[in-house]
Amino acid sequence: MTSVLVLNGPNLNLLGTRKPEVYGSTSLADVEKMCEQEAGRLGLDLTFRQSNHEGQLIDWIHEAGREVKAGNSIGAVYNPGAHTHTSVALHDAIEGAELPVIELHISNVHKREEFRHHSFISPVARGIVVGFGVLGYPLAINGLHQLFQQGS
């Protein structure tokens, strides 16, 4: 079966434990269940991952690019966390792997501090979902699936 990857960057393992006023009170395990449900509804297998380590995320992006090329995956929904605002390496990984990525942020980063307004990921993303809370995850899976079906 074709799969979709949902990738989460640093500190997202803390989701639901702190800062509920910014990120809500849903845990990452519950987000995984929501993604599982949406992927299943679309006839996709889900791979759901989180890491606090940039190199690990780069390796997963390279692997995901190979899976897309092999016809086994439609691409990735990616919440890069704070790497969004700092990482040229992750930008280069997505570009180099030619991985179709929907960049996702739980919070509306544009309503927050100035340093969150710039993203190194957006220029290499196919689409961006921002500010829908954790509902953005199933929305982004759906959007990536629709782009894939259109062949675009």
Enzyme catalytic residues: 23, 105
State which of residues 46, 75, 105, 129 lies at the interface with ligand CA2 (CB under 6 A). Answer: 105
Largest CA distance in the chain: 42
Are 105 and 81 within 8 A, CB to CB? no
Q: Which is nearer to ligand CA2, 9 or 67 (CB)?
A: 9
What is the nearest approach in angstroms of ligand CA2 to the Cβ of residue 117? 9
Q: Which is nearer to ligand CA2, 2 or 10 (CB)?
A: 10
Query: Reduced to 3 states, what is the DSSP secondary structure of residue 24?
Result: coil
Query: Cα separation of 141 and 151, whole Å?
Result: 15
State which of residues 4, 94, 109, 140 lies at the interface with ligand CA2 (CB under 6 A). Answer: 109
State which of residues 90, 107, 121, 145 lies at the interface with ligand CA2 (CB under 6 A). Answer: 107
- Contact between 50 and ligand CA2 per CB under 6 A: no
Query: Cα separation of 132 and 36, whole Å?
Result: 18
- Contact between 82 and ligand CA2 per CB under 6 A: yes
- Contact between 77 and ligand CA2 per CB under 6 A: no
Q: How far is CA 140 from the centre of its chain?
A: 8
Query: Cα separation of 34 and 45, whole Å?
Result: 13
- The number of CA neighbours under 13 Å toward the Cβ of 27 is 4
Of the candidate spans 60-68, 69-77, 103-111, 142-150, the one that interacts with ligand CA2 by CB under 6 A turns out to be 103-111
- Contact between 39 and ligand CA2 per CB under 6 A: no
